Amino acid sequence: MDHSWKDLALEVIQGKELSDGEALSILQCPDGELLELLNGAYQIRKHYYGNKVKLNMIINTKSGLCPENCGYCSQSIVSKAPIEKYAMVDKDTIIKGAEKAHKLNVGTYCIVASGRGPTNRDVDKVVSAVKEIKENYDMKVCACLGLLKEDQAERLKEAGVDRYNHNINTSENHHEQITTSHTYEDRVNTVEIAKKQGISPCSGVIVGMKESLQDVVDMARSLKVLDADSIPVNFLHAIDGTPLEGTDELDPRYCLKVLCLMRFINPTKEIRISGGREVNLRSLQPLGLYAANSIFVGDYLTTAGQQETADHQMLKDLGFEIDYTNEITAEELV
C-alpha cells in the first residue's frame, strides 16, 4: 500500500471501488498493520452504521435429511456426523423461538430448514407461523429454506417474510470443489427470485474451505453484484464426519482481514459475523465488530454459539448499541 488504510477507507466512502491488487493487499495485510486496517474498516462502518449492532437469531426447523453433498455441512447426505435429525417442526415451536428472540432484543429472527428446497407443506407451516409472529412481535423475519420457486417466494412475501437467505458460500470458481449436487447458478437464481418478489436478499460466504485469496475477493465482488442487503460471513467450523473434516486453515487475524475486505468492497451493507466466530476469532471476537455491524446470538444449526448474555456483555464493553428496531438502513444514516 502506498497510502494508509484510513485514506483508502475515505476513498471508498467517496465511491471508490477497490482494484484486485488493493483487495488482495487487505487479505495479505501484515499483522503489524492489522489495527490500522481495522481502523480503516471502522471508518466505513461508522459512516454508514454508527456504533449500532444488529442482532440475529436462528431456529433450525428441520435438521439433517438433506440430499445435497455440500462438503462443509453435517446435515448433508455424505456426512457421517452424529447430529440430531428431524422433519419440519410444528408452528408453535417456530413461534416460541420468536418469543425467545424478542426477549433477547433480536431484530431479525431466522427460520432455517435443511434440504435442497422446501416442499409446499413446509412453506405452509412457515407462512402460518410468520403471520402470527408478525402480529405479535416487532421484528424482521428471515427465511432460509433452500432453493426457492417463484410461487413459494410470492407466498412467503405475502405472509410477511422480510428477508430470504441463500448463501453463495464460495466463489463460482471453487464451487464444484465444495458441492456438485447443485450449481453456483442455482444459488444465484434463488437470490434473484427473492429479490423479484420484493424480499430483501441475504447472501454470504463460508471462509476456510481451501479456497484461494482470489476466491475470497471474488466472493466479496459477487455479493456486491448480487446487491445482497445482508452478508453473513461464516468461518469454517470443520465438523468430524464431513468431507472437510480436519480442515484448519484459519487464524483470528486472517478472519479479521476477511471481515475488513467485506466492508471495503460492500461498504453500505450489513456485514454479519456468523457461524464459526467463536472457534475461529476466539479472543479477538470483539475486534470483528469494528468491521462488521451484525452478529448471530445463540446457537447455529448443528453447532453451539456462546451464551447470549456474553454477546450482550461484549457489545456493552465495546460501547456499541443494539439496534432494537433493525429497521435503520445505511442510506438513512448518510
pLDDT digits (tens, 9 = 90+) for 254-305: 999 999 999 999 999 999 999 899 999 999 999 999 999 999 886 544 444 4
**Rounded to two decimals, what is the model's pTM?**
0.92
At residue 285, what is the residue type?
A: Q
For 287, residues 6+ apart whose C-beta sits below 8 A from its C-beta are 38, 256, 281
What's 254's DSSP letter? H
Residue numbers in the known binding site are: 66, 70, 73, 110, 142, 202, 272
Q: For residue 225, which amino acid is it?
A: V
**End-to-end Cα spacing for the chain:** 28
C-alpha cell, 63: 435438521
Task: Give the residue carrying C-alpha cell 403471520.
Answer: 131
Q: Are the C-beta atoms of 253 and 34 separated by less than 8 Å? A: yes
- Residues with Cβ within 8 Å of 33's Cβ and at least 6 positions away in sequence, in order, are 5
Residues making up the binding site for [2Fe-2S] cluster: 110, 142, 202, 272
pLDDT in tens, 188-217: 999 999 999 999 999 999 999 999 999 999
Pull the grid cell for residue 135.
402480529
**pLDDT attached to residue 163:** 97
CB 201 within 8 A of CB 207: no
Q: CA-CA distance, 283 to 334, in Å (whole number)?
A: 32
Q: Is the pLDDT of residue 327 over 50?
A: no
Beta strand extents in the chain (DSSP E only): 52-62, 108-113, 140-144, 163-165, 200-202, 205-207, 230-235, 270-273, 294-296, 321-322
Calculate the CA 45 to chain-centre distance: 17
Residue 309 or 134, more confident: 134
> Across the chain, what does the average pLDDT equal?
91
* Chain CA centroid to CA 270, Å: 9
Model pLDDT for residues 140-194, shown as the tens digit of each residue: 999 999 999 999 999 999 999 999 999 999 999 999 999 999 999 999 999 999 9
C-alpha cell at 208: 476456510
Residue positions forming the annotated binding site for [4Fe-4S] cluster: 66, 70, 73
Residue 302 confidence (pLDDT)? 43
The stretches of 268-323 forming alpha helices (DSSP H) are 277-280, 285-288, 308-318
Q: How far is CA 244 from CA 69, 118, 180, 207, in A?
A: 12, 26, 15, 12
Report residue 67's pLDDT band, with 50, 70 and 90 as the boundaries.
confident
Q: What angle do CA 263, 166, 134 make, to 5 degrees?
A: 95
- Single out the residue of 117, 123, 102 nearest to residue 56, CA to CA: 102
